[in-house]
A and B are shown apart, each in its own frame.
Chain A
Amino acid sequence: MQIRFTLNGRPTSVDATPDTPLLWVLRDTLGQTGTKFGCGRALCGACTVHVDGAAVRACSFPIEYAKDKDIRTIEGLEASATGQAVVDAWIELDVVQCGWCQPGQCMSAAALLSADARPDDAAIDRSMSGNLCRCGTYPRIRAAVKRAAEILAEGGGR
């Protein structure tokens, strides 16, 4: 089945069986491997992308639902000021260890900051608890979300 959507601002069309998760269309069909696989069951957040601005687990999102949607992945995150601020904060604070979970963390963080420009700890807990990090970078993730908020408040995000 042919499915059209917008991927990181570009009109995109793929031929896929309708139940194929968006994650595997991105990784296998389109070769966009920034979106990661960690559990396949919406339990870890490694595959987080934005669908019409909302954080979605791509491993559990059948491609048929992507029809006509605006999809953004880590490869296109820096196109927005919020995304840019998140990436900058993540690099500035050297959040990553192994790094496998981090694109998903950044996507969740950007979705949070789009909805709440000054998230407190409780808001960070709520929005980020769906993203596992086996390396245990949570203390730095928390700090980086706050740093990204600061960058945005300073008019940053380049």
Chain B
Amino acid sequence: MTAPGLRNDSRAPSRRDFFRSTLTAGGGLVLGLSFGERLRAAVVRPTADPADALPADFQPNAFLKIGSDGSIVVFAKHDEMGQGIHTGLAIAICEELEVDVAAVQVVPAPADTDYGHSAYGIQVTGGSTSTWSSFEQMRRAGAVAREMLVAAAAARFGVEAGECEAVDGTVRRRDGSGEAVGYGDLADAASDLTPPEDVDLKQPATFTRIGKPTPRVDSPAKVRGSALFSMDQRAEGMLTAMVARSPYFGGTLRSSDTAAARAVEGVVAVVEVPSGVAVVAHGFWAAKKGRDALRLQWDAGEGRGLDTAKLRSEYSALAERPGNVARDDGDAEGVLAASSRRHAAVYEVPFQAHAPMEPLSCMVELRDDGGVKITTGSQMLGSDHPKVAERLGVDASKVEFVNSFLGGGFGRRANPAADFTLEALEVALALRDGAGLSTEVRSAPVKTIWSREDDLRGGWYRPMFVNAIEVALGDGRIDAWRHRIVGQSIAVGTPFEGAMVVDGVDGTSVEGAADMPHGIENLRVELHSPKLPVPVQWWRSVGHSNTAFAKESMLDECAEKLGRDAYELRRELLAEHPRWRRVLDVVADKAGWGGPLPDGVGRGIAVHESFRGFAAHVVEASIVDSRPKVHRVVCAIDCGLVVNPDQVESQMQGAAVFALSSAIGSGIHFADGKVVESNFHDFQLVRMHESPAVEVHIVDSDDAMGGIGEVGVPGVASALCSALVAAGGPRIRRLPIGDQLG
């Protein structure tokens, strides 16, 4: 498979591994790109194609195609789920290619190893890694194209390449003659050239696009409603399926009565699939009515009796016992045992659903050759693709994936089990094999749609955690710190277990705690990873969403006990860590830390590193009618070199609001084995009238590039809770705050 729309390019680059990445962070597989060989192999060209007579398009690599008509298409290796990465990737390419971002079209890349993550290997978007991991690769992709276009133009002008330059989508002579030729006119000639062995990238001082606020490439279509998301995708004769799943995790179907469902107008089939019973119909409404009419009995299985109150006490009991050691500096136990000034607290966070605004969906079109076309919105085609091929028992080349805009992801659409993709495939297969169904129904494209209830009750949550932290306080300082974390591992049982779990410690459970750099001499971090039938996975900012809340809350409690200012204490503890300290200083300054506030309003502060980014927050809040009222959030962010400052601001604003939702009103709880929450009335997200002003200060930084999408989340909850203390409220140690102020 190759980039969509690619035509007539058998003269792809001959040099393999040209873009072998130098990025090896994260311990992942480093995947070199060898698009040349496979592009050639993949392009099927009838011998007498009249198109051959037409000028060729120029596709110097898997990321870029310049049409002989002057059109420029960027194939985005990372999925656009709101974070602005389509724009960011385009900026990096356009900077070197010397064209305006507004002049290119960005389309999602298909599933193909060419689009493997530069650090992780497989094709995936997550971990706030897209910008830093693909930045140089995209620039090289643009620079190679530029050099080849310049070479093609030089040959046409009959001069040396050095006498030409690329400017704004054209190559012109430097001699002042004004002679210039557009990229489109050079595409055919450029496509005959061999890519250069190496290219010079532009010096940062000469950047004209990187670092400038750049409009998003997807804004107009999204605003006008013409952008195609997964759920918007349609195919001729398409049917809609809704699956009734077990209300218990690990439950199994005992009996079903489907007669009433089948009788619903518009329902064409009811089929069993591994995850439950699928009602297939003409359109959503009939499918939903049909599903509502199912009478199903479930055996609860492993999930029987799952109950949040019970889990809380079990986790708390575990937290009193030593766990697997994630960090052990000095002698925390000894110092704690000998101390006469100890302070202990337990911090808790619930399961969290990602609740992307667009519920999940996936369209499947089975093909006669045993293959399939899958149209969905996924963050991890690199895992979905082989899983689908494996299920069908066909070569991956028979599985075509079309990705769409993602109506939010937050980690949910990078599912290690490919849950919503494989389930849709199962529905299509069950339909194809369905007894007594017409050929038309059996061969129809079928799209699964999840309701909001399905989404919130469908699992794959951020795990629930209990943290027990105990400290020994000295004279104005923290002498010892022991942090025990209790929560399910998101890695155990997935293909990523080997890489993510070391000596019984899932790094993502302890990130943000085991790596705290606060210079506390006696520091011990331990982990318990209980097993539950509740499926869990990464949720925006992963382990940090828990550990930062616990760590920063305890630092504030230490400051209170020590009679120290929360900002000053952090400054002192982070004296050796300039990037932490810089964002902390900036946020304190911009927020007017220590300055006067209206009566009843308090401030809280936090600083945290995650995903190679550094963020500090000050939250101003009060308590109104026993509810938190957030007046203002100020944040400072250092993510190294910034590609699009407007989107850094946007991500930080959005992250603050996202984090406030989980701090104040949303969470997933269990009673009687089932999820309590069902929709936005009881899974409460921040709304317009509760949304504060969010000020974002981007710190000028020459340091290594880092992440953004998740970095703005971790610090917000503790800063809010400390602001509420300063406003005269109680110390909240369990999220969401909900009615605990009442």
Contact = CB atoms under 8 A, between A and B. Distances in A.
Do the two chains bind?
yes
A129 B688 CA distance: 5
A17 B679 CA distance: 25
A146 to B, nearest CB: 13
B650 A140 contact: yes
| Size bin of chain A's contact surface | 35 or more
Interface string A65-108: 00000000111011000000001001100111111111100100
Contacts of A73: 225
Q: SS class of chain A's interface: helix, strand, loop or mixed?
A: loop
Contacts, number: 189
Q: Which of B228, B357, B651 has the most CB of A within 10 A?
A: B357
Given A129-B688, A134-B356, A90 B225 contact: no
Interface in B206-265: 215-216, 218-220, 222-229, 231-232, 234, 240, 265
Given A35-B225, A106-B223, A136 B405 contact: no
Contact of A140 (B228, B358, B653, B679): B653
Interface in B666-696: 679-681, 685-691, 693-694
Interface string A31-47: 10111111111011010
Interface string B385-422: 00000000000000000000111111000000000000
B693 A91 contact: no
Contact of B284 (A27, A139, A142): A27
B658 interface: yes
A136 B691 contact: yes
Contacts of B355: 134
A52 interface: no
Nearest to B653: A139
Q: Which of A17, A37, A124 has the most CB of B within 10 A?
A: A37
Contacts of B232: 27, 33
Interface in A14-38: 17, 19-21, 24, 27-29, 31, 33-38
Given A20-B285, A91-B220, A137 B654 contact: yes
Contact of A99 (B407, B410, B655, B687): B407
Contact of A87 (B223, B228, B265): B223
Given A28-B240, A98-B407, A136-B653, A40 B687 contact: no
B239 to A, nearest CB: 10
Interface residues of B, number: 66
A149 interface: no
B405 A97 contact: no
B451 interface: yes
B66 interface: no
A103 B650 CA distance: 18
A133 interface: yes
B357 A103 contact: no
Contacts of B169: none
B445 to A, nearest CB: 14
Contact of A36 (B288, B407, B656): B407
A37 B356 CA distance: 11
Contacts of A140: 650, 653
B646 A135 contact: no
22 contacts: A28-B285, A34-B226, A37-B359, A38-B357, A40-B451, A44-B452, A74-B224, A74-B225, A87-B223, A97-B650, A98-B358, A99-B229, A99-B405, A100-B356, A100-B407, A125-B689, A131-B687, A133-B657, A135-B82, A137-B657, A138-B688, A139-B694
Interface of B: 81-84, 215-216, 218-220, 222-229, 231-232, 234, 240, 265-266, 282-286, 288, 355-359, 405-410, 449, 451-452, 646-647, 650-651, 653-658, 661, 679-681, 685-691, 693-694
Q: Which 9 A-B pairs have the closest CB atoms?
A: A34-B225, A136-B657, A99-B222, A100-B407, A97-B82, A98-B82, A138-B691, A136-B654, A28-B283
